[in-house]
Each structure stands twice: as C-alpha cells, then as structure tokens.
Structure 1
Amino acid sequence: MASIKTILRKTSLRNGKYPVLLRVTKDRKSKFFGTPFEANLNEWDSKLGRFNKKFTQQLKSNRLIGKFEDRALEVISELEMNQDFYSLNDFERKFRTQSNPEASNIFAFWQEQIDEFKAAGRMSNAAIYHHTKNSMQKFTKQKSLHFYEVTPTFLDKYEVHLRNKGGTGGGIGVKMRAIRAIFNVAIKRGIIDEKLYPFKHYNISKLKGKAIKKALNIEEVHNLQNLDLSDKPHLINSRNFFIFSFYTRGMNFADMMRLKWSNVSGDRIHYTRAKTKGNFIIKIMPPVKEILDYYRKNKRPYIFPILFRDNLTPTQLNDRKRKTLSKFNKDLKELASLAEIDKPITSYVARHSFANCLKQKGAGTDIISESLGHQDIKTTKAYLKELDTAILDEASELLLQ
C-alpha cells in the first residue's frame, strides 16, 4: 500500500519560499509531485502537512491540498483494484494531471489550443478561444485555474456573471462551447480524466440566440442590384460583394476574399469552402459575369480588391478580412437606405436572402441544403425555420394595410 503526505521541499526558491510537494511513497521509494503552492517556513505546519493561520487564504488553499491528496488516494485505490502490481511510474502516469500544475491548469492548456489554431491559420477559432479565456480569467480573477475546479456549479456562476455583464444566450453559448471543446481535447489527449467533464450536467442547448435571421426578398435584392452609384463610387465594391455572394449560393466573405481568377473556368467557379472544406462548382449567372468583367481589368491574381499579394500570414489575412468586412457592413447600411430597404443588412444577409428566395420560388429543402453546403439537412430546416418567422411577421402586417 502506497502512502502520501504533503510537504515543503527542503530547498528554497529564489524568492525565499519553499515549494509545496505531494510525496508518494511505495516499497520504501518516494516520488514528489508539484502543486501550485509555495510558502514560507513560518506559514507551514509540517505535522499536519497544511498551511497555518499565517498563510493568506489558508482555508481555501488547504481545501485544495486536500483535493490533491484525495485524488492521489483515488488513483492508488484504482491501481490496487485493477493491477496485481503497480509501480510509482504507473502512479505518475495516472496522476499526471495533478502532478503537473501546467497540465492541470486549464488556462495554460487553453493557450496551447489558441497557438495551435493560429499555426493552422484558423484565426476565427483562435479569436473565440482568446476572448473566452480572457473573460473567464476576469471572472476568476486568477491566472491559474485547474480543470477539476470547473464544475457545473462553476459554469452556472460564470453564466450568471456573463448575463449580469449584458451577455445574451447566443453569446454565452459561444463561450460555453469553447470551454466544452477545451475539455474534449484535454480528455482525448489524456491530459484529464473523463470524470472531470462538467458538461454531463451543465446543459449548453438551453443557451440559444434570440436574434432572428434577416433576409431580403428578390425585389429588394434587385433594388440593391440596380442602384445607380455613379455619384457614390465608394459603395461600388460593397454592392458588388453582396450581389456576388447572393448569386453564388451565399458565398462566405472569407471565401470571396480568397477567390482567384484561377478558380474561374469557363462558365463555372470552382472553390473549396474554408469553413467546411466542401467543394463547390457554381454556374456563372449574368449578374456574376458582370461583376467578374468589372474586376477583370485589374490583372491581379485575386478577383476582388481585398488581397493584393500571396504569402500573407494567417494573422495578416485575418486583419485584412476584419478591416474590409467592417467597411463592407458599414457600406451596406448606406446601400439599404438608398434602396429604401427598412431592414438591417450585413454580409450574412446575402446568404440568408439566397436561401429565403429559393424557398419563396418553391425549391425543396434538400435542394436548398445542398446549395448552401450544409452537411446535415436538419441545419437547413433550422435555418429556414428562423427565416419563416420573419416572413410570417411581414405577412401579418398585411392585415394593417
């Protein structure tokens, strides 16, 4: 039977304090495992293996030490039940989460995930993870947080904190899904045990966005398309972006930004969607051909005047996308006013409008789903259901006319 005890290491650190270690002894051999704590000699009770009253946050810190010891005893019990013989190395492998503060520190692992996303060029994911990590650090007011501290109760309190800060269900849901993904990866990589997973009891599905998807009807799209912008040349690119997206099955702005003339072959556009990696072949309709002809004179590798050279880093691409998209959305407000469209329009509305107009023309859900590139028709049904709400609202208003 192995034994455990929490001790101070005999050698002090540069700051004069002593690291708090968990000592595990078996067969007259010992291994020492680090904890996040350190203390002065007069702050430690060596007999009890606990902080004394002179230590700041004595009670909380002692409770955490108790949890370290409980988990060590739990690992020992599992090893003794499942193996006839085990070594301290076996214990160390199983206890790696608690024995390595950096491994059990969710913020440290979180930053690794952010760095991996950036290296892979997945800047949107990196941004979501970064903002969520910062948000949780502000909530906890500490730089270190261990996986086992993120319980369903912790998540409930974090949700309340976000709502008090003005957060909505949809925004909170984005953060919670990022946290859930962190846990899933940590479990998959063997960093933590599945028992620490808090989302078996914390329900993310309750966090739904309240914003209803907005969409234009075909008449409104035509109004935008036919605007005379001879005296407002600063809006031409943004109008072209919107119309191009609409007639290319709601092409995402990030994909439009990366679109090259090499993607155009005959009367078709061939491209791979960045988000889903799905391959699309889209027929060039007259409005799209007109826009392509407008930019063909520029003689650049990229179709649209957003990217002007190759070999940009993921950070540079993301910065360029963010700046251009911001101007695009700002211009769309002015374009909507000129076209007498009393609806908020953003870059996403082109995609919603494409789906809405197809449905109004009688296209089946399966056709719309394939056109949008949805991998599951349930996604399309949910998509169209939200659009239906806006359509029904407009239909009800006819009673007032």
Structure 2
Amino acid sequence: MSSNAKIVLRKKPNCKGLYPLAIRITKNRRSTYRYVGHYIDIEDWDEKNIRVKKSHVNSDNLNSLLTQELSEANKALINLQSEHKDASAHQIKKELYGSSENSTFFELAQEHLDDLESLQKLNRLSCDKAWVGYILKFYKSKQLTFQEIDERFLKKFMLYCKINHKLSETSIMNIMVLVRLLYNRAIEQKIVNRELYPFGGNRVRIKFPETVKIGLNIQEIREIENLDNLTPSEFHARNVWLYSFNFAGMRVADVLRIRWSDINDNRLQYRMGKNSKLISIKIPQKALLILENYKADKRNEIDFIFPELKKANLTNPKDVFNKIKTANRKFNTHLKSIAKKAGITKKITMHIARHSFGNIAGDTIHPLMLQKLYRHSDLKTTLNYQANFIHKEADNALDSVVNF
C-alpha cells in the first residue's frame, strides 16, 4: 500500500487549550505525525476544507506554511516510494525530516499510542495511555529526555506511584515494561546511547509479583447454576458467566462478539479477538440450554447472540470497545450480588470463569489439550497458568511427612 501525507489538527490540546497542527504520514494504515510547531483554537480549524479559518489572526501565513510543509512531504514521499517500498511510517518520517536524536520520551510514547490506535489494539491503548499519564504527572513536563531516565529517576517514580497513587506492584511493573519498550526504541533510533540503559543487571529489574489465582469449585458453580431468585440483569450476567466457563473461560470480549452464524452442527466456530486464531469447539449441553434464552431476540443469522453489541456502531472500533468495557463492568457488579445470594465468599468476576475452569481441570487434563482449550499460543503459558491450580502432589508430599 502506498504512503500518503495529510494536514491534520491533532485533538490533543496543550495546557492553554490550543490544538497542534501537524502533517500525518501514513503507511499501511499506520501513522506518525510531524508537528509544525503551531497551536490554534479548535474553532479556528476548517475540518472540511483542511485549513485554518479566516477567524484566526495569522490564517494566511499558517495556511501557506501548511501548504508548503505538505507539498514538501508529498514530493519526498514520491521519491521514497520507489527506494523504500517496505519502509514503515516512522522510517519515512525519519527520511523526510532527518535525525530524531532530539525526540523526547513523550514524543516516542505518542507515536506508540498512535500505532496502537491505528492497529485497533484498543485494550492495550487504554492501559498504555494511562501508564504514560502517570509518568507525565510525576515529571510535570513533556520535555523528558531519555538521558534523564536513569536508575534514580525510575526508583523515585516507582515510589511516587506507590505512595501518591496507591498503584499495585503489578501495575508499577507494567509501567516499567512500557518504559523499557520505549527506551529500546530510543536506542534503535540512536536517540540515546545504549550505555545509559537503566534496566537489568544491578540496575532496575522488572519482576512481577506472584499472584494468587482463585477459582470456584464444582459445588460453588452448582450453587450459582441452581439460584432461582435472580433479577433479570443478574440472570443475564449469570448466563454470560456460565457460557464463558463452559468454553474454558472464554474472554468476555469474545463471548459478546459471538453471532448465531458462528454456530454450526452444534459447534462454535469463531476468531479470537486477542490473537485472531480460528477456533472450532463443541458446544456443551449446558451452553446450548443458555442459548435457548436468547433465541426469541434473534433478528437474523448474523445477529449477535447476547444483546450488548446489537446497537454498537461496528464501523467504530472505539464504540465496540467501550460497549464491551461497560458490559464487563456491569456483569461484575451483578456477579457480586449473585455470589452473595449463593453464599459464596470468593470474589467472582467475568475473568474468574477462566480461573474456575483451571481450578476444576487441575492436573486431570493433558497440558496440550488444555493449551487448545485455553487457546494459548505457547505451551509454556498454559503450564505457568495451570500451575496455579495444581496442588495435589504438594498436598500429598506434606501429608507424607506430617501424618505420622
């Protein structure tokens, strides 16, 4: 796919509420931005004609500057297309505008976020955008250079996150992973010397704390299945949770995207949202009974089974993402009251359906089969995940010593 350049007003205001003008360079649906150094009020921007309105005091000069910048970018792109057919948007930007050795941390962070948005990786975009926000709150300026991000800076930042924002150790480590990713990119682009790398060895080590994964047992799931004093919203939340559990803890985003056309010959065939894998799996009898509750609302074969995405704007990935996020939050609220009615003290969320399947599976199913059921790409992921629920050997070993 050919590359192109376009004048845009970025919808990210500065501290004065003004918006930056930029040249957007796109290649294969991935974009990067060259800021021209001028900010205007959003009311002074003509989106339809892509120019600064006459209402701005320097509209003529700004429009001349934008036209010149765009013309130079397009001329350079024409020359680059034959020489660098496989160049990325960022490589094209580098060719057009020279070295990026003065790029700041937040400039590379913004490029990273723009990439995630272009690739529609909205869940990660939401997380990484929040992580970048914590760094900006700590430093209080977007002029942070990579040379400033040393061991002392990172340790002070981690302490700040823990004390000022009460972030968990896992969240802090996730921010460190993002900083490390961007630092490595800065090294590749020769923005910072590799000798200043602040991670690993005796410097800052990224080590995630062990987490306890607790799932429901068979009796607890039966208690939930047998509840008959549920509100309509609780009844629906239970159905979605049990549906997820019956498919080895299918992720809520995949559950809500399932259509009636994905069901053929009592098999569910769908593409996972996380890694685009094609899945074909038998529909358990309990799941078939759940589906019966939704047939009356079926509009056509390509209709969604569950109602949450029926009114979503499917051409707008952000709208779909937000509706799934809202639905998950509502499900978790209702699952909390369901647990109370069932007399279950364990925390129940949509994700606990996956833990519950792992807890009941234990070590009774071969790891390769569990890998297939979990839809993991790597067997190591399955082994590490399932290790949280395998206690039999350790329990027997303990008994062999103390039961005398």
SS in 2 for 1:198: coil
Counterpart of 2:389, as a letter, is L
Structural mapping, 1:262-341, within 5 Å: 262-300=261-299, 301-309=303-311, 311-341=314-344
Whether 1:218 and 2:218 are equivalent positions in the alignment is yes
> Structure 1 residue 140: deviation in Å?
1.0
Match of 1:355 in 2: 358
> Structure 1 residue 158: deviation in Å?
1.4
Alignment CA distance shift 1:214-1:225 (3 Å): same
> Structure 1 residue 191: deviation in Å?
5.7
Unaligned runs of at least 5 residues, structure 1: 1-35, 37-91
Alignment CA distance shift 1:207-1:159 (3 Å): farther
Give the conservation status (yes or no) of the 8 Å contact 2:339–2:348. yes
Alignment CA distance shift 1:176-1:357 (3 Å): same
Deviations 1:55-114 (A, max 9, x none): xxxxxxxxxxxxxxxxxxxxxxxxxxxxxxxxxxxxx98x9233xx4xx21102211221
SS in 1 for 2:207: coil
TM-score by length of 1: 0.68
Match of 1:146 in 2: 145
Alignment CA distance shift 1:279-1:196 (3 Å): farther
Give the conservation status (yes or no) of the 8 Å contact 1:224–1:339. yes
Whether 1:134 and 2:129 are equivalent positions in the alignment is no
Give the conservation status (yes or no) of the 8 Å contact 2:270–2:279. yes
SS in 2 for 1:124: helix
Distance in 2 of aligned mates of 1:284 and 1:189: 50
Alignment CA distance shift 1:241-1:324 (3 Å): same
Structural mapping, 1:65-76, within 5 Å: none
Distance in 1 of aligned mates of 2:389 and 2:104: 43
> Structure 1 residue 307: deviation in Å?
0.3
> Structure 1 residue 125: deviation in Å?
1.0
Structural mapping, 1:46-61, within 5 Å: none
Counterpart of 2:231, as a letter, is K
Whether 1:170 and 2:140 are equivalent positions in the alignment is no
> Structure 1 residue 186: deviation in Å?
4.2
Structural mapping, 1:181-196, within 5 Å: 181-187=181-187, 194-196=194-196
Match of 1:261 in 2: 260
Distance in 2 of aligned mates of 1:329 and 1:164: 28
Distance in 1 of aligned mates of 2:187 and 2:298: 50
Match of 2:199 in 1: 199
Seq. identity, %: 29
Counterpart of 1:263, as a letter, is D
Alignment CA distance shift 1:390-1:109 (3 Å): farther
> Structure 1 residue 127: deviation in Å?
1.1
Give the conservation status (yes or no) of the 8 Å contact 1:271–1:279. yes
Deviations 1:239-283 (A, max 9, x none): 011100000111000111211112111111011211122221111
> Structure 1 residue 380: deviation in Å?
2.1
Match of 2:107 in 1: 108
Alignment CA distance shift 1:111-1:262 (3 Å): same
> Structure 1 residue 389: deviation in Å?
6.8
SS in 2 for 1:297: helix
Distance in 2 of aligned mates of 1:391 and 1:203: 36
Alignment CA distance shift 1:390-1:276 (3 Å): farther
Give the conservation status (yes or no) of the 8 Å contact 2:362–2:389. no
Distance in 2 of aligned mates of 1:391 and 1:225: 31
SS in 2 for 1:199: coil
SS in 1 for 2:167: coil
Give the conservation status (yes or no) of the 8 Å contact 1:122–1:314. no
Distance in 1 of aligned mates of 2:193 and 2:241: 48
Whether 1:372 and 2:374 are equivalent positions in the alignment is yes
Give the conservation status (yes or no) of the 8 Å contact 2:256–2:309. yes
> Structure 1 residue 325: deviation in Å?
0.9
Match of 1:61 in 2: none
Counterpart of 1:199, as a letter, is F
Deviations 1:12-70 (A, max 9, x none): xxxxxxxxxxxxxxxxxxxxxxxx9xxxxxxxxxxxxxxxxxxxxxxxxxxxxxxxxxx
Distance in 1 of aligned mates of 2:168 and 2:243: 32
Higher Rg: 1
TM-score by length of 2: 0.67
Match of 1:237 in 2: 236
Give the conservation status (yes or no) of the 8 Å contact 1:269–1:283. yes
Alignment CA distance shift 1:386-1:358 (3 Å): closer
Q: CA RMSD in A?
A: 2.9
Counterpart of 2:374, as a letter, is L
Distance in 2 of aligned mates of 1:296 and 1:191: 58
The number of residue pairs the alignment matches comes to 298
Unaligned runs of at least 5 residues, structure 2: 1-36, 38-93
> Structure 1 residue 182: deviation in Å?
2.2
